[in-house]
């Protein structure tokens, strides 16, 4: 039985218990959330030792780090280095988006190297194998796509992005929408190319039940991808995007009915003032399914700094109810990320998740800030470093310039908090 089926029968599984313990919540609360489809716990039954991670309502907002090769750079050792960078920076999950080298071997190496839940986009492997075997992605037989899904399922992949919501009707709306950057999702592009070339419906939509069967068997969480997500502010929240979301909403209900855990992916590039509406729309259309957003990036022009634009949009999204943030690295739009980019991306997303959690009222979120502020007020530097989101970085920045004062070298002998404490009689405060 899947976690969803277990929860529906009123069970509290070991995974649900583990999630509850980590979050400081009641196991029944988690079980109830899973039963209603408001929480997912991506954990393939074949993924031995996977640390259960809950994503959804009432839980801490989670962060995902994308790693993986490209056709230009396909060194498994670099990917394992990126994996370590992501884990060190405290990502909650990892996705292997490899499209270069021996995709199967790289995935297995990553799976063997981490106990974090692992996600993939199986059409990458299927499409690229189709190029090698049949000459092009568009020549990919449907069975070949399902063979890749099956292989990855057996390997223990915990969640899979599947672009099931791209229908011929959605492509029609896409054409009418006259976008600036029509399709920026790689899986979306593979799918649309295949559909238009073959003049056929999306195989993952048409054969959705076949997909559900595999997902149910291994308890894979489906992450219904937004192949038509906007790739520019100009295209945000257009009819093509919403058309796909409507189909995804139907597939959410279908998945749940089949006992399959499911979440929904979201934008993308988007002006700040559309983010909350998009989150709310997903929650309504998809009946509260956990929402997994990429960004959103609040401007198109910050190439080189898109970990920042994503942190801005991600905070607003999380505060509005998004459950899961896919990181964006500083190299987005420019090149494959390095381990350093991975680190920056994870930290940026964690900042956004946490700042959002403060607004959501997630248990313990505000306490962390309070403890930090108490340490700050008490000029307790060891504690400040320990409580910071990235202790090694904080220690390094603090150590960069020594000080003769009680504070730091910015104010030197004139630390505001130090100065007023004696006049206000607040030399030491407690948590």
| Interface positions, 169-188, toward a second copy (CB under 8 A) | 174-175, 180-186, 188
Nearer to a second copy, 139 or 408 (CB): 408
Residue 351 in contact with a second copy, rule: CB under 8 A: yes
Question: Closest approach of Cβ 32 to a second copy, in Å?
Answer: 27
Q: Does residue 237 interact with a second copy by CB under 8 A? A: no
If the CB atoms of residues 32 and 191 are measured against a second copy, the closer one turns out to be 191
Is 168 a residue that touches a second copy (CB under 8 A)? no
Q: How far is the CB of 3 from a second copy (least distance, A)?
A: 31
Distance in angstroms (rounded) separating the CA atoms of residues 266 and 368: 29
Binders in 73-92 for a second copy, by CB under 8 A: 73
- How far is Cα 375 from Cα 382, in angstroms, rounded to an integer? 9
109 forms part of the interface with a second copy (CB under 8 A): no
| Interatomic CA distance for residues 161 and 95, integer angstroms | 10
Residues 14-73 that bind a second copy (CB under 8 A): 70-73
Determine the 3-state secondary structure of 87 from DSSP. helix
Distance between CA atoms of 97 and 101, rounded to whole angstroms?
12
Measured from the CB of residue 220, what is the shortest distance to a second copy in angstroms? 24
Q: Which stretch binds a second copy (CB under 8 A): 51-59, 204-212, 285-293, 419-427?
A: 419-427
Number of Cα atoms under 13 Å in the Cβ half of residue 206 = 12
Least distance between a second copy and beta carbon 389 (Å): 5
Question: CB of 241 within 8 A of CB of 229?
Answer: yes
Stretch that binds a second copy, among 18-26, 30-38, 107-115, 370-378 (CB under 8 A): 370-378
170 contacts 56 by C-beta, under 8 angstroms: no
Out of 1, 45, 142, 374, the residue judged to bind a second copy by CB under 8 A? 374
Cα–Cα distance measured from residue 4 to residue 39, given in angstroms and rounded to the nearest whole number = 9
Among candidates 281, 291, 186, 288, which has minimal Cα distance to 236? 281
Q: Which of 225, 231, 267, 295 binds a second copy (CB under 8 A)?
A: 231
The one segment of 14-22, 51-59, 259-267, 310-318 that binds a second copy by CB under 8 A: 310-318
Residue 340's alpha-carbon distances to 82, 204, 337, 347, 399, in angstroms, are 8, 36, 8, 11, 20
User: Which residues, at least 6 apart from 36, have a Cβ–Cβ distance to it below 8 Å?
Assistant: 288
Please give the residues from 325 up to 344 whose contact with a second copy meets the rule CB under 8 A. Answer: 330-338
Applying CB under 8 A, the site for a second copy has a residue count of 112
- The secondary element (H helix, E strand) that includes residue 63 is strand 62-67
Please, what is the minimum distance in Å from the beta carbon of residue 373 to a second copy? 3
């Amino acid at each position: 039985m899947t976690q969803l089926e277990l929860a529906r029968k009123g069970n509290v599984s070991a995974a649900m218990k583990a999630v509850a313990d980590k979050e400081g919540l009641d196991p029944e609360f988690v079980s109830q959330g899973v039963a209603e489809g408001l929480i997912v716990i991506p954990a393939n039954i074949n993924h031995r030792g996977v640390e259960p991670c809950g994503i959804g309502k009432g839980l801490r907002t989670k962060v995902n780090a994308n790693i993986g090769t490209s056709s230009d750079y396909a060194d498994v050792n670099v990917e394992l280095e990126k994996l370590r960078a992501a884990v060190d920076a405290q990502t909650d999950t990892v996705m292997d988006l490899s499209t270069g080298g021996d995709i199967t071997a790289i995935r297995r190496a990553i799976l063997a190297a981490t106990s974090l839940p692992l996600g993939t986009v199986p059409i990458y492997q299927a499409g690229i194998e189709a190029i090698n075997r049949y000459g092009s992605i568009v020549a990919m037989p449907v069975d070949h796509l399902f063979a890749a899904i099956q292989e990855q399922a057996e390997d223990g992949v915990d969640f899979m992005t599947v672009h099931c919501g791209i229908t011929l009707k959605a492509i029609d709306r896409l054409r009418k929408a006259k976008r600036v950057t029509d399709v920026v999702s790689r899986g979306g592009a593979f799918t649309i190319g295949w559909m238009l070339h073959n003049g056929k419906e999306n195989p993952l939509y048409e054969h959705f039940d076949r997909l559900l069967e595999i997902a149910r068997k291994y308890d894979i969480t489906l992450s219904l991808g937004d192949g038509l997500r906007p790739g520019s502010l100009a295209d945000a929240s257009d009819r093509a995007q919403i058309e796909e979301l409507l189909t995804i909403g139907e597939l959410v209900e279908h998945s749940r009915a089949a006992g399959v855990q499911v979440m929904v992916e979201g934008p993308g590039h988007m002006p700040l003032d559309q983010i909350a509406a998009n989150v709310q729309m997903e929650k309504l259309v998809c009946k509260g399914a956990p929402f997994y957003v990429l960004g959103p990036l609040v401007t198109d022009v910050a190439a080189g700094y898109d970990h920042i634009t994503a942190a801005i949009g991600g905070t607003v999204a999380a505060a509005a109810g998004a459950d899961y943030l896919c990181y964006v690295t500083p190299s987005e739009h420019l090149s494959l990320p390095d381990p350093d980019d991975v680190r920056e991306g994870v930290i940026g997303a964690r900042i956004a998740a946490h700042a959002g959690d403060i607004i959501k009222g997630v248990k313990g979120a505000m306490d962390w800030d309070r403890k930090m502020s108490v340490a700050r007020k008490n000029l307790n530097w060891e504690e400040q470093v320990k409580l910071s989101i990235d202790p090694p970085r904080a220690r390094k920045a603090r150590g960069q310039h020594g000080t003769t004062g009680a504070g730091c070298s910015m104010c030197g002998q004139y630390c505001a908090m130090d100065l007023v404490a004696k006049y206000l009689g607040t030399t030491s405060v407690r948590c």
